[in-house]
Structure 1
Amino acid sequence: MSIVNDIRTAFSRRDNALNQLLLINVLVFVAFILLRTVMFLLTGGKNGHLPVLEWLAVPSVPGTLLTRPWTMLTYSFIHFDFFHILFNLLNLYWFGALVREYLGDRRLVSLYVLGALCGAALYVLALNLVPALRGGPAILYGASASVTAIIVAAATLMPDYTFSIILLGPVRIKYIAAVVVILSIAGINGGNAGGMLAHLGGALLGFVFIKQLQAGRDLGRPVQAVGDFVGNLVSARPRTSTTHGRATEASQAKRGPLNHPEQDEIDLILDKISRSGYESLSKDEKQKLFKASQK
């Protein structure tokens, strides 16, 4: 089938992280729809999917979490409500494209993964340490913590970048991020306190990630190292290729994650903007312009 081939092609490319994240979320969503339908037809019950969900969502009970550590990441790809996944994926697409354009695929994935981990950690800590939030066992699922991390990271990276929003017109993304954070804070005393706290954990990670990156420290290196290890196992690459890749990354790390391009290059880029507009710039030119703005 052409759809299967399209999915296979999307995952075979190494520079396609944003589409891969979007696809994983959609595929898991569809898989759970099929699972719920099959279980309903076989048993007549509407909760036949719950045993699988409990093995993929983050449990609020620490003892259970210790036996299911993978849930700290797998929960961030699970949705059941159509509008939940729609809004998460739209925000992931818009803000993820911005982060990917300036920081690359690897740091986009790092933000998604670390946002999920921080969101889950704050969720479990709060539900066990804050008296007002203590209750019976609960679970956490959804990409909101990861997406919020990417939204806040984009706003921290380029606070004055504008999106055109229907009925509102151009809006700076720092205000969009501020609204997302305020709504999450306001929702803590609502019916989904744990989910709102996970959003805030992701938001904190997104802010700290960019500030540390601008200071020369890439918090995503452990995630990237694990990704390289898994990727090399899957593709069965020769060891020499892996060594060469690490040497290249090491040389890039010595130059720093946000090296500043020469002023002559920036002048040429600014001239191009004055002639043809910002959208005429290539991805590399936009990255150089952003790096120069960090001076």
Structure 2
Amino acid sequence: MGIYDRDYTRDYNDHGPSFFSTDQVTKTLMAITIGVFIAQLFTFDPARGSSIVTDWLSLSATDVLKGQVWRLITFGFCHSTSQPFHILFNMLWLWWFGRMVESMYGEREFLMFYLAAIFASGLCAIGVDLAVDRTVYTIGASGAVMGIVILYALHYPRQPIHLLLLPPIELRWVAIFIVVTSFFPLLFLFAGSGGEGGVSHSAHFGGILFSYFYYRNAWRLAPMLNFFQGFKMSLPKRRHKAPLKIHDPDANDTTSDLDDEVDSLLAKIHEHGEGSLTDAERRTLEEASRRLRGK
């Protein structure tokens, strides 16, 4: 196991991650979602009251049962064009919490978690629709975003956060509020005493459940990408003559020495906290981070 994959490089105190932080996947997901939203706006047909983009990407149990399984992922990148706060709040929460979860788990794992959370929330949504015998169309990243918030809260339940003009509140109370407001509307729905009020609480709850089991069972999804990469590499390829490489033992020794030094610094953080580092040690970690991203 490499030093950058060890648990204590990501989760060593109760105040959230700070070293090796990255937000590239978070930014990319936001850019794709906003791009899809713009496409929805430009293809909106007032006569039909819908957009061809929404028609082909939104989720319904009927369409999935017809074989249109892509909707279990694509619906998470669509949002209501008549309610701009739908995408606004989802993107704000994704920006606030997505970057922190991405810095904890790494880009590949965070990407797989996000897509899997969308998939799980979609399965839950169509499962509820089939159970209550209704046909509705579901759109939005809320299920995956709720999953991200819950996952971060499971790691740092006592971390205080600021919500608008409210005083600081511990993240665990925010998580409890999300769970309660997602679960009880489903109870009322199954009891026949009301719908979901235009909000897919079933998708929210699916994302929450997935996040809980992901954390509890310490699932890791990035190896799935390695599997597909391995499958691609196993396909027959034209053989090319490999270019000659000059062996530089000094460069290998330098990299090895840096790895050893970073290893000891991360262990120091794990045992004594981030505040125990000197300025020189912080610069060493930053240099290692730059080299890692440059690979």
With the length of structure 2 as denominator, give the TM-score of the two structures: 0.66
What is the distance in 1 between the residues matched to 2:149 and 2:115?
14
1:77 matched to 2:77? The reply is yes
Per-residue deviation, 1:126:
1.6
Per-residue deviation, 1:208:
1.2
Deviations 1:208-230 (A, max 9, x none): 112222xxx4145325655x589
Per-residue deviation, 1:180:
1.1
What is the distance in 1 between the residues matched to 2:201 and 2:264?
38
What is the distance in 1 between the residues matched to 2:264 and 2:109?
18
Larger RCO of the pair (alpha carbons < 8 Å, separation 6+): 2
What is the distance in 1 between the residues matched to 2:34 and 2:128?
29
Q: Name the residue aligned to 2:38.
A: 30
Which segment drifts farther, 63-72 or 149-158? 63-72
Q: Out of 99, 102, 110, which is 2:101 matched to?
A: 99
Deviations 1:99-126 (A, max 9, x none): 0121112222122111111111111112
Q: Partner letter of residue 268 of structure 2?
A: D
- Aligned pair count reads 231
What is the distance in 1 between the residues matched to 2:96 and 2:174?
12
Task: For residue 179 of structure 1, give the secondary structure of its aligned residue in structure 2.
Answer: helix
The verdict on how the C-alpha distance between 1:15 and 1:264 changes in structure 2, with shifts beyond 3 A counting, is closer
Which segment drifts farther, 17-26 or 193-202? 193-202
Q: Name the residue aligned to 1:65.
A: 65
* Cα-Cα RMSD: 3.8
**Is the 1:212–1:219 contact (alpha carbons within 8 Å) kept by the matching residues of 2?**
no
Q: Name the residue aligned to 2:10.
A: none
What is the distance in 2 between the residues matched to 1:198 and 1:118?
8
1:266 matched to 2:265? The reply is no
**Is the 1:209–1:219 contact (alpha carbons within 8 Å) kept by the matching residues of 2?**
no
The verdict on how the C-alpha distance between 1:124 and 1:109 changes in structure 2, with shifts beyond 3 A counting, is same
Q: Partner letter of residue 76 of structure 1?
A: G
Q: Out of 128, 131, 154, which is 2:130 matched to?
A: 128
Q: Name the residue aligned to 2:223.
A: 221
Superposed structure 1 runs of 4+ greater than 4 Å apart: 223-226, 228-232, 259-263, 282-285
Per-residue deviation, 1:140:
1.1
What is the distance in 2 between the residues matched to 1:104 and 1:283?
16
What is the distance in 2 between the residues matched to 1:175 and 1:151?
12
Q: Name the residue aligned to 2:292.
A: none
Q: Name the residue aligned to 2:28.
A: 20
Deviations 1:25-64 (A, max 9, x none): 111111111111xx44xxxx15252x44232111122x64
Q: Name the residue aligned to 1:56.
A: 57
Q: Name the residue aligned to 1:162.
A: 160
Per-residue deviation, 1:175:
1.5
With the length of structure 1 as denominator, give the TM-score of the two structures: 0.66
Per-residue deviation, 1:177:
1.4
Work out which of the two has the higher radius of gyration on C-alpha atoms and give 1 or 2.
2
Q: Name the residue aligned to 1:198.
A: 203
Q: Name the structure with the higher helix share.
A: 1
Per-residue deviation, 1:271:
3.4
What is the distance in 1 between the residues matched to 2:76 and 2:106?
21
Task: For residue 159 of structure 1, give the secondary structure of its aligned residue in structure 2.
Answer: coil
What is the distance in 1 between the residues matched to 2:23 and 2:97?
17
What is the distance in 1 between the residues matched to 2:175 and 2:150?
6
Q: Name the residue aligned to 2:120.
A: 118
Deviations 1:126-154 (A, max 9, x none): 2112xxx223x221111011111111111
Per-residue deviation, 1:171:
1.8
Unaligned 5+ residue runs, structure 2?
Answer: 1-21, 189-193, 234-238, 241-262, 289-295
Q: Out of 163, 181, 184, which is 1:183 matched to?
A: 181
Q: Partner letter of residue 32 of structure 2?
A: I
Q: Name the residue aligned to 2:142.
A: 144
**Is the 1:55–1:68 contact (alpha carbons within 8 Å) kept by the matching residues of 2?**
no
What is the distance in 1 between the residues matched to 2:168 and 2:151?
19
Per-residue deviation, 1:162:
2.2
**Is the 1:145–1:201 contact (alpha carbons within 8 Å) kept by the matching residues of 2?**
yes
